[in-house]
Amino acid sequence: MKLDFTPEETAFRDEVRTFLKEALPEDLRRKMINRDHLTKEDTVRWQRILNARGWAVTHWPVEYGGQAWTPAQRYIFQEEMALAHAPEGSPFNVNMIGPVLCKFGTPAQKDRFLAVTANIDIWWCQGFSEPGAGSDLASLKTTAVRDGDHYVLNGQKIWTTQAQHADWMFGLFRTDSSGKKQQGITFLLLDMKTPGITVRPIETIDGEHDANEVFFDDVRVPVENVIGEEGRGWDVAKHLLGSERSGIARIGLSKERLSQLRALESRLAADGTLTDEEQRRLAHKLAEVEVELRALELTQLRVVAADAHGGGANAAASILKVKGTEMQQRMTELVAELAGPAGLAMPDHDHAPNDPDDGWIGAAAPFYFTMRKVSIFGGSNEVQKNIIAKTMLGL
């Protein structure tokens, strides 16, 4: 047993660090530090810089542009990205539809979509949830009825993140309702410009517009856009939701937030905002949160090391989603506490840049509010616990 990275891994870390230092545009870095709103163009610009280096879709198979990295390298890359304040690419492109196409796509689908997905020449959104199908996703009702060479879609999706930017959607649609609810679901790709699609914004509690409702009214989708087989979409969706566990706890992100908290601790102590007693209490809270972060980080590293041997079922892996999201939420909660009454004023709605010194104050509470979503999306933490109880504990 040993904790240290190998010399090769340390050299890799330096290579990533050097690249990020040179390649990450300063304006993007500042925006990330100040918790400014990132535009679609910001995300696309950074993704293309990464893609030019061959590092946009590193966990895809090598023949589709991925890197033959070890789990430790993937962990290092992700941590360095977070510590360098680099934006994350589009998860829908990189972590969701990309791996699905690599595994289930036909040669024609791969040719058509993979390269443009990696480069965000097309921006994807995910059409899974419906008003009546959240945690119970398989009860989804939006129908796709076969009509010649097309499916005709009718119904509604909801919580569709960034649908307003999206060129294409991947989603789950009901092609058969005669059997078990997991059967008869088909995974489809559709062009968002197809007639009959209406996108309606949902404002969230952070004052932002990231989520949407998407309505389908006789939307015609070519049959060639089925991923896998008709009626087998549930298997595709399970693969999508189960991939990428090396980064699921997002330790790097929490470490970056921690360093922000440590900087704020010093600053607010120095400028007189915090009384001695408040400083004492804050220091205690930060120590508590660091202990748990360290435990989570080690647990993540155990999973990374196990994955290097082929992985498999691992009790440590199952806790990462739940504890990782709780940790991310705790960090934002602490920043919001520090902002205090000065943080009541919301940032400007025109997305003017936050003040470099005090921008964090206005951004703190909205960020805290919006981060409540991380324990809800992608399978709520309660659903995760149901899965762990069933698969790990046999209950």
Partner 1 sequence: MDFDLNDEQKMLQETVTRFVAETYDFQKREHALRTPDGWSREAYAGLAEMGLLALPFAEEDGGFGGGGVEMMIVMEALGRGLMVEPYFATVVLAGGVLRHGASAQQRGDIVPGIAAGERILTLAHGEKGLPRHTLAARTTASASGDGWTLDGRKIAVLHGQSADTFIVSAITGEGLSLFLVDAAAAGVTVEGKRGYDGVPVATLALSGVNVPKDALIGATGQGEGILARVFEEATAALVAESVGAMAETFDVTVDYLKTRQQFGVAIGSFQALQHRAVEMLMQLELSRSMAILAALSLDSDADQRSRNISAAKAQIGKSGRIIGQEAVQMHGAIGITAEYKVGHAFKRLTAIDALLGDRDWHLARLVEKRGVYPASA
- Judged by CB under 8 A, the residue of 52, 205, 241, 315 near partner 1 is 315
Give the DSSP H or E segment for 316: helix 315-339
* In 84-161, alpha helices (H): 91, 98-104, 107-118
- Range 225-237 burial, b when 16+ CB lie within 10 A, else e: bbbbebbbbbebb
Is 108 a binding residue for partner 1 by CB under 8 A? The answer is no
How many residues appear in the chain? 395
Is 270 a binding residue for partner 1 by CB under 8 A? The answer is no
- Judged by CB under 8 A, the residue of 302, 311, 376, 379 near partner 1 is 302
Is 276 a binding residue for partner 1 by CB under 8 A? The answer is no
The single residue of 9, 208, 213, 244 carrying the catalytic annotation is: 244
Retrieve residue 303's tokens.
Answer: 């999973």
- Judged by CB under 8 A, the residue of 108, 270, 287, 313 near partner 1 is 287
DSSP assignments along 172-191, one per residue: EEES--SS-TTTTEEEEEEE
- Judged by CB under 8 A, the residue of 57, 72, 169, 188 near partner 1 is 72
Is 293 a binding residue for partner 1 by CB under 8 A? The answer is yes
Nearer to partner 1, 288 or 355 (CB): 288
Is 24 a binding residue for partner 1 by CB under 8 A? The answer is no
Pairing of strands 168-174, 124-127: parallel
Is 301 a binding residue for partner 1 by CB under 8 A? The answer is yes
Sequence-distant (≥ 6) Cβ neighbours of residue 162 within 8 angstroms:
40, 90, 92, 123, 125, 210, 212
Nearer to partner 1, 200 or 284 (CB): 284
Nearer to partner 1, 322 or 364 (CB): 322
Is 6 a binding residue for partner 1 by CB under 8 A? The answer is yes
- The span from the first CA to the last CA of the chain, in angstroms, equals 33
Backbone angles phi, psi at 300, to 5 degrees: -60, -45
Is 268 a binding residue for partner 1 by CB under 8 A? The answer is no
Per-residue x/- track, 149-168, partner 1 (CB under 8 A): --------------------
Is 312 a binding residue for partner 1 by CB under 8 A? The answer is no
For residue 124, is it left (φ>0), alpha (ψ between -120 and 50) or beta?
beta
- Judged by CB under 8 A, the residue of 290, 353, 372, 379 near partner 1 is 290
Retrieve residue 195's tokens.
Answer: 């007639």
Clarify whether 9 is annotated catalytic. Answer: no
Sequence-distant (≥ 6) Cβ neighbours of residue 199 within 8 angstroms:
160, 163, 164, 192, 212, 213, 214, 215
Is 313 a binding residue for partner 1 by CB under 8 A? The answer is no
234-263 residues in contact with partner 1 (CB under 8 A) are: 255, 258, 262
Nearer to partner 1, 48 or 385 (CB): 385
Instruction: Provide the annotated active-site residues.
Output: 244
The site for partner 1 (CB under 8 A) is made up of 1-6, 9, 72, 255, 258, 262, 280, 283-284, 286-288, 290-296, 298-299, 301-302, 304-306, 309, 315-316, 318-319, 322-323, 382, 385-386, 388-389, 392-395
